Amino acid sequence: MATNKPFSPGLTGSGLKLIAIGCMLIDHIAWAFADTLSPLGFGMHLIGRITAPVICFMLGEGYRHTRSFPRYLGRMAVFAVLSYLPFIYFLTGSLPDGNSFLSLNMLYTLTLCLLALRVDERLKGTDRNFALALLGLLSLFGDWPVVALLYTLNFARNRRDFSRMVRNFAWITGGFVLVFGYQYWQMGMEPMEIWGNLAFQFGTFLALPFIRLYNGQKGRNIGEKWLFYFFYPVHLTLLALLHWGI
């Protein structure tokens, strides 16, 4: 784990995690109760896009400082399983069926991101590329497919070169938006509807100033090993109950 250091300006790891949790809550409230194409929905989703990049960045920091990778991975995987039903219920208002049983949550994707960091560190050449490609394919069943893996690897590889990190981040985000734009076009959406469903994705860039302010310190103990894990399924369940009815 990161050791406590004398105070320095900027955001600690705890501060970044709280920002991610707050933005995630705003985003999920918007998915449950706001029209995506309304000004309110757009603004809330714009803020919500901060969540994934910050979480992926902090995942890399957690990987660097963890005392036990198997425990870290196991903790993520267990809560991914515990979040399975809440996530699907939040999305659909029902239990898993033939259309939704492979709709997996963000903790599932983050579990794969952790494995990607391990692969990137331990394997080389063709073996590494094959393993990363396999993890990318598996991520297609999860929330933020592929892009979360790319964000995580970019942050980890370029943590000492912020300019390069930002350039790669821009390419990843641009590709992500183009892929989803093509999918929406294939679904028959009108151009303005496509733009309305894509424009807020550029809110991911709002995460970069927060990441830049990270001072490398752990910060106050806010139960970071457990806060995010418990918050994720609990808030999804509560929002789903409020949205779909108890």
Q: Is 195 helix (H, G, I), strand (E, B) or coil?
A: helix
d(CA 237, CA 108): 17
Q: Note the pLDDT of residue 1.
A: 39
Structural domain including 95 reads: 13-244
Domain count, the chain: 1
Q: Is residue 6 in a domain? A: no
62, 89 Cβ separation under 8 angstroms: no
Q: Is residue 3 in a domain? A: no
d(CA 147, CA 32): 23
- CA 113 vs CA 18, 60, 72: distances in Å: 20, 9, 12
Residue located via tokens 């979040």? 83
d(CA 223, CA 8): 22
Q: Is residue 2 in a domain? A: no
HSE-CB for 213 with a 13 A CA cutoff: 14
pLDDT in tens, the chain (246 residues): 344 455 567 899 999 999 999 999 999 999 999 998 899 999 999 999 999 999 999 999 999 999 999 999 999 999 999 999 999 999 999 999 988 999 999 999 999 999 999 999 999 999 999 999 999 999 999 999 999 999 999 999 999 999 999 999 999 999 999 998 998 899 998 888 898 889 999 999 999 999 999 998 887 766 656 888 999 999 999 999 999 975
Q: Note the pLDDT of residue 2.
A: 44
Q: Is residue 188 in a domain? A: yes
Q: Note the pLDDT of residue 174.
A: 96
Q: Note the pLDDT of residue 227.
A: 84
Which residues are CB-neighbours of 24 under 8 A, at least 6 positions away? 48, 51, 232, 235
Strand partners, 214: 11
Q: Is residue 98 in a domain? A: yes
- Strand ranges inside the chain, DSSP E: none
139, containing H or E segment: none
The CB density around residue 22, as the number of other CB atoms within 10 Å, is 14
Q: Is residue 66 in a domain? A: yes
C-alpha dihedral sign at 134, 139, 140, 146? negative
**pLDDT, tens digit (0-9, with 9 covering 90-100), for 61-99:** 999 999 999 999 999 999 999 999 999 999 999 999 988
- The two structure tokens encoding residue 76: 């993520």
The CB density around residue 55, as the number of other CB atoms within 10 Å, is 27
216 backbone φψ class: left, alpha, beta (φ>0; ψ -120 to 50): left
Q: Is residue 4 in a domain? A: no
Helix ranges restricted to H, 66-206: 69-82, 84-92, 106-122, 125-138, 147-157, 162-186, 191-198
